[in-house]
Structure 1
Amino acid sequence: MLKYLVIALFAFTCCSNTKKENIVSVCNIVRDTIPDKETDESNNYYSRAVDIDSVKMYLQEAHQIHEALRTKLRKASPQQADSIFMAQNYRPDHINFFDLTEPTLSRWEVYGNTTKEDTLIVGLLAEEGFEPIYIGEGNADIATNAYWYYNIFEPYVTDAVKGYMKIEADQDRLLSADAGLVVPLNELLDYAIEWEKYLKAYPEGKLRSKTIARYRLYMELIMFCDYDNTPTFDRTTGILEGYILEEIRALARKYPETESCKILQEYLSGLKGTNYKYTKELEDKILSLWMLKDYEGYIYE
């Protein structure tokens, strides 16, 4: 279940900003594995051209959608702007766009094999907030730059929504790749505590359910990660991995007054009673603490 939550959340968190330094460049996309290109068929696959006119046409449609959004926000009250954000119906459709740019994306899988055309495509994408991203296992996709929509909405929404969008943009990164967690546990705790602060500032806010979903995701990844290549508990013995135990002990002492670290302390105390072996009873107990108990499931946008 957690795996699907992360995938869904990642899809949601690919959101906004036009800052040049945030645009992923061709040379920064490094692949772990270089596919075999010895056959003519393989060479033909990686030499396919992109229909640039079709890409420009799609981006023109995206531009019109974004301009309509800006116009609507300029006329809206802060509360109305909040409602526009929460409706989440202002994003251009990515599905057909992926097909249009797939030849470029396929070359992102092979370091050093992008073309001048691909560089042009990346520049065009950036103009409307899009960028190619690596999503693991040799695959690339099109996403929206993290701060793109934050920059559009920021002047118009209430402080509560502005704060939510800022944390969301700051934390917009791939959590897993190649069947494993790729974010260090200490960073996950920092992410969780940012949402803890937000929940305390806006305990009954209109984004409460979404905030709790994000908070719980990070706490679960720290305590009960079930990815194939980075499980918290050994697959055979069910025992907490020793190096993870030591890291969580350190994390539990990092911010002792926070609810998040208190949960980690309770987690460690419960593990002593099970000889550091996973039990469903322990998981249920820990996930019923503080705001974790109010989790309603991930809300799809």
Structure 2
Amino acid sequence: MYEDYVKIRDKYTDCLNVSQTEILDKYIDYHTSEPGTEHLPENIKKIAAELDKVGLEFREMGEGLTEIHSLSGYYESIFKNKVTPDYGAYISQLAKDNKENYAVDGGLLITWEELGDRLIEWENFINKYPKSQLIKKAKDNYHNYLLDYLLGMDSDRIYNNEEGKIYDDKREAYNTLIKKYPNSAVAKKTKELITAYDAHLPVDQIEKKINLRR
């Protein structure tokens, strides 16, 4: 029921994003750094209120793009205590992940420490529910986060080529994760990455060394 519900709701949400293109294209013009919708035109306020009634919102995605999305905790509010434990844990983790935008223009919008914590959460899910019907989706989430965490992003590099070392903030985040979760698979991979970079191996060899490629 959950999977069918998500599929249908996503279909209708996609339709809304198409039908409301004119409003979505102009939404960035109403942007304000202050919370709330008090600076939105009245007609946009009314639409936002109607969307909120059904658990939807205008979400600014960055680079001038706005989309209509389900509120981060919407599915959890509908299905909490009504699904099997693995589905409950999965829905809850997605709600946490979707509270804020993840990245924009090749750069992370959450902290590197928060990304590490997400990885641990998905690793724990995979270890706890290895036979879940959701295991492939969970592994996909884990793998995508791991790629960003260990290989960096276009606007969030791991290694300072000029100085020949891992950026200080990244190393600090890595060391924090290793200390907090020393027995995790993420910590093991992170240690391999640090060792490879500290040995000044070429980037393509590092990806081969840690067995992780985009």
User: If the length of structure 1 is used for normalisation, what is the TM-score?
Assistant: 0.60
- Match of residue 16 from structure 2: 97
- Runs of 4+ in structure 1 over 4 Å off: 234-239
Q: Does 1:119 align with 2:45?
A: yes
Q: Does 1:135 align with 2:58?
A: no
- Aligned equivalents of 1:201, 1:262: Cα separation in 2: 19
Identify the match of residue 254 of structure 1 among 174, 180, 184: 180
Identify the match of residue 206 of structure 2 among 282, 285, 289: 282
Identify the match of residue 264 of structure 1 among 186, 190, 195: 190
For the residue of structure 1 that corresponds to 2:180, the secondary structure is coil
Q: Deviations over 1:206-229 (max 9, x none)?
A: 1111111111222222211232x2
Does the 8 A contact of 1:238 with 1:278 survive in 2? no
Unmatched 5+ stretches in structure 2: 33-38
**Cα offset for 1:86?**
6.6
- Aligned equivalents of 2:134, 2:91: Cα separation in 1: 10
- Aligned equivalents of 2:161, 2:188: Cα separation in 1: 27
**Cα offset for 1:247?**
3.2
Q: For 1:2-13, what aligned pairs fall within 5 Å after superposition?
A: none
- Aligned equivalents of 1:117, 1:87: Cα separation in 2: 29
- Aligned equivalents of 1:88, 1:124: Cα separation in 2: 20
Corresponding pairs, count: 205
Q: Give the 3 Å change call, closer, same or farther, for CA 213–237 of structure 1 in structure 2.
A: farther
Identify the match of residue 85 of structure 2 among 149, 159, 170: 159
For the residue of structure 1 that corresponds to 2:69, the secondary structure is strand
Q: Deviations over 1:113-147 (max 9, x none)?
A: 62011111100011111111111112111111122
Identical pairs, percent: 21
- Aligned equivalents of 1:237, 1:140: Cα separation in 2: 39
**Cα offset for 1:106?**
3.5
- Aligned equivalents of 2:41, 2:161: Cα separation in 1: 44
- Aligned equivalents of 2:56, 2:136: Cα separation in 1: 28
For the residue of structure 2 that corresponds to 1:245, the secondary structure is helix
- Aligned-residue Cα RMSD (Å) equals 2.7
Does the 8 A contact of 1:254 with 1:261 survive in 2? no
- Aligned equivalents of 2:102, 2:194: Cα separation in 1: 24
More strand by share: 2
User: If the length of structure 2 is used for normalisation, what is the TM-score?
Assistant: 0.82
For the residue of structure 1 that corresponds to 2:61, the secondary structure is strand
- Aligned equivalents of 1:132, 1:278: Cα separation in 2: 43
